[in-house]
Amino acid sequence: MKNNQHDIVRSLELHLFFARIMKEHALFLKVGFLPPNADLAREGECFLRQFEQLLSRTISLSNHVVGSSVLHSGEVFTEFTDLAERQTQRLTGTFINNELTDREMRLNGRNKGEELHISHHLLRQVQQLNRDGLNLVNRLIDYKERLLRSVNSCRVFTSNYPLLIEHILREARLYRAYLMHLEGLEDKDWQTLRNSELFWNRIMMEHALFIRGLLDPTEEELIDTADDFAGDYRRLLDASSAANDAVMNSNALQLTQKFRDFKRAGVEGIEACKIRSIILPLLADHVLREANHYIRLLKE
C-alpha cells in the first residue's frame, strides 16, 4: 500500500464493515452445526474470535480517520445491533464481544474535506492490518469452500442453506479482492467483483430469498413481500446489460431503499418477538447493515 491517505482511510473503512460481517458469518456457521460436526463448529468459533480481534484493532486506529458518512450510514452498526447481539448470545449460548459495538458507537468520524495527517506509524499499522486481514480471510474462504463441498456431497448437515454458504463465500472473496487491490496484488476476481452494483443486486436478491425461506409459513404477507423483492432484484439483474448506468443506479437505489425499510421493520419485529421465524436477531441486523452499505455505495 502506498503512503496514500485515501488508501489508508479506505482500508480502515473496509475492515470496519467487512471484519464485522466475517465474524458474524463465522457465528452463523458455528451455530448451524449438530454434535457430529463439533470440529467444524469449533473452527467457526475460532474464526469468530480472530475476526473480533481484527475488528478491535481496526477500531483502535479509526478514530478521527474514517469518514463520518461511513459511521453514520448504518453499515458499521445500527440502532438495533447492541440488542441483537445480546439476544443472539442468549439464544445461541455463544459469547459475542458486545464491547466492540460500544466502541464503534463512540468513534468520531472525519468530515468530507477535513484535513487529515497520516503518520508513518499509522501507515505501518494499517499495512499490517491489511496483511493480517488478507491472511485471515484466505483461511476463512478455505473453510467455507470445504464446508460447501461437504454439504453438497451430503457428508455434513447444517441448518444453513447451501446457497447461503455460497453467498457468504462470495462476500469473503469480495473482501479479499479489495484487500489485494489495496496492497497492489493481483486477484483473479477483481475485474468481475469490482462491478459493485451487479454484485450487490445479487446479494440483495439472495437476502430476499433467505428471508422468505426462514420466515414461519404462517407469515404469509411477509413471505409474499420478500418474494416480490427477490423478483424485483432478479429483473434488475436481467435488465442490467440493456440499461444505461444512470438508469440502473437510480432503479437500484430506489429498490434498495424500500428493501432497507422492509429489513428494518423485520429487525424491529424479530427483536420484539412479533415475527415468527427462525431468523436470529443478529442475522436480521446483519442483512440490514449490508443494505445500508449498498445504499451508501450507490449514493457516492
Higher pLDDT among residues 108 and 5, named by residue: 108
* CA pair distance 159, 32, nearest whole angstrom: 5
Looking at this protein, which amino acid is placed at residue 263?
Answer: K
Q: What is the DSSP letter of 278?
A: S
Distance of CA 55 to the CA centre of its chain: 13
Q: What is the mean pLDDT of residues 139-152?
A: 98
Q: Say yes or no to pLDDT of 75 above 70.
A: yes
Question: What pLDDT, on a 0 to 100 scale, did the predictor assign at position 130?
Answer: 97
Place of cell 470440529: 39
Query: Which of 29-38, 54-63, 193-202 is predicted with the least confidence, judged by mean pLDDT?
Result: 193-202
Confidence of residue 147 (pLDDT cuts 50, 70, 90): very high
Confidence of residue 185 (pLDDT cuts 50, 70, 90): confident
Place of cell 479509526: 62
Q: Say yes or no to pLDDT of 142 above 60.
A: yes
Cβ neighbors of 116 (< 8 A, separation 6 or more) are 5, 9, 65, 110
Structural domains in the chain, sorted by start: 1-67+109-190 (1.20.1260.120), 195-300 (1.20.1260.120)
Q: Say yes or no to pLDDT of 70 above 90.
A: yes
Question: What pLDDT, on a 0 to 100 scale, did the predictor assign at position 197?
Answer: 85
Q: What is the mean pLDDT of residues 269-277?
A: 98
Q: Say yes or no to pLDDT of 193 above 80.
A: no
Q: What is the mean pLDDT of the chain?
A: 93
Question: In this predicted model, what pLDDT tens digit does every residue of 98-122 receive, in sequence order?
Answer: 999 999 999 999 987 777 888 899 9
Contact 252, 298 (CB under 8 A): yes
Q: Is 33 helix (H, G, I), strand (E, B) or coil?
A: strand
Q: What is the mean pLDDT of residues 264-285?
A: 98
Q: Among 138, 142, 143, 116, which Cα is nearest to 12's? A: 116
* CA pair distance 253, 247, nearest whole angstrom: 10
Percent of the residues in the chain that have a pLDDT greater than 70, as a whole number: 93
Looking at this protein, which amino acid is placed at residue 17?
Answer: F
Distance of CA 125 to the CA centre of its chain: 23
Question: What pLDDT, on a 0 to 100 scale, did the predictor assign at position 118?
Answer: 85
Question: What pLDDT, on a 0 to 100 scale, did the predictor assign at position 242?
Answer: 59
Question: What pLDDT, on a 0 to 100 scale, did the predictor assign at position 196?
Answer: 80
Q: Say yes or no to pLDDT of 248 above 80.
A: no
Per-residue three-class SS string for 229-267: HHHHHHHHHHHCCCCCHHHHHHHHHHHHHHHHHHHHHHH
Q: Say yes or no to pLDDT of 245 above 80.
A: no
